[in-house]
A = this chain, B = another copy of it.
Amino acid sequence: MDIIRSVKDMQQLIIDQKRKGKKIGFVPTMGFLHEGHEKLIQNARENNDIVVISIFVNPLQFGPNEDFERYPRDEEHDKLISENNHVDFLFIPTVEAMYPSELAIAMDLTKRVDVLCGRTREGHFSGVVTVLAKLFNIVLPDNVYFGMKDAQQIAVVDSLINDLNYPIQLNPVPTVRESDGLAKSSRNVYLQEQERKVAPSIFQALQFGQKMVIDGEKNPVIIVKEVENFILQQTTGKIDYVEILSYPELTPVQTINQQVILATAVHFKNARLIDNIVIDHTGLISKRI
Interface residues of A in 159-217 (CB under 8 A from B): 159-160, 163-167
| A41 CB → nearest B CB, Å | 23
- Chain B positions within 8 Å of A11 at CB level: 165, 167
Query: In the complex, what distance in Å separates the CA atom of A15 from the CA atom of B134?
Result: 20
Q: How large, as a class, is the contact surface on chain A?
A: 20 to 34
- Chain B positions within 8 Å of A134 at CB level: 163-165
CB-nearest residue of chain B to A11: B167
Complex interface: stretch among A24-32, A66-74, A107-115, A268-276: A107-115
Quick one: given A21-B19, A133-B164, A138-B165, are A108 and B110 in contact (CB under 8 Å)?
Answer: no
Query: In the complex, what distance in Å separates the CA atom of A106 from the CA atom of B105?
Result: 10
Is there contact, CB below 8 Å, between A105 and B137? no
Q: Give chain A's interface secondary structure class.
A: mixed
Q: Interface on A for B, CB 8 Å cutoff?
A: 7, 11, 15, 18-19, 21, 102-112, 129, 133-134, 137-138, 140, 156, 159-160, 163-167
List 30 A–B pairs whose Cβ atoms lie within 8 Å, in order of A's numbering. A7-B165, A11-B165, A11-B167, A15-B167, A18-B19, A19-B19, A19-B21, A102-B110, A102-B111, A103-B163, A104-B109, A104-B110, A104-B159, A105-B108, A105-B109, A105-B129, A105-B159, A105-B160, A105-B163, A106-B108, A106-B109, A107-B107, A107-B108, A108-B108, A133-B133, A137-B164, A137-B165, A137-B166, A138-B165, A138-B167
